[in-house]
Amino acid sequence: MNVTDTMDIITESISQALEKIAFLEVTPPEDESKSPDDIIVAEIGFVGHVSGRIQIASEREFVTAFAENMCGMEGLTSEQYDDALKELANITCGLVLPMLAQSQKEDFNMTVPYLTTLSPPKWQDFIAEDDTVLLEVEGRLICVKLEIHN
């Protein structure tokens, strides 16, 4: 699978997930040189005829806006904000896998999503990697990466 295909798959999947569960619109970024300060990364892996992982890196402000839209309320706990981002990774992966499947009967196993942080100096390296898509949601940057291993 070439880089263009994976970028199209991940863009379509993250856009669907954000629009359906949080009513947020995805657009191309206005300023790609901007580096967020407080970066959180949700990661989920999958295994099947192809294996890989999806990473969603974003500034914490995005996580707050996303979680509050998804839940329909403000003032969530930090655990609820974190769980919302893990759920976004889970849903995005669930949308990606049918596009990677060779048949409708194909099974994939997904890992439990988890969170890590990314230091601001590493942001530019992260967004420059292959198979990443930089997007803007409500004025906040997110970077989504789909890594596939055969």
Q: Which domains does the chain show, CATH number per domain? A: 3-149 (3.40.1550.10)
How does pLDDT run across 100-147, given as a tens digit for each residue?
Answer: 887 777 789 999 999 999 998 899 999 998 889 999 998 999 999 999
pTM to 2 decimals?
Answer: 0.93
Answer yes or no: are the C-beta atoms of 47 and 1 closer than 8 Å.
Answer: no
Question: pLDDT tens for residues 20-32?
Answer: 999 999 999 988 7
Cβ within 8 Å of residue 29, ≥6 positions away: 134, 135, 136, 141
Helix (H) or strand (E) holding 87: helix 78-100
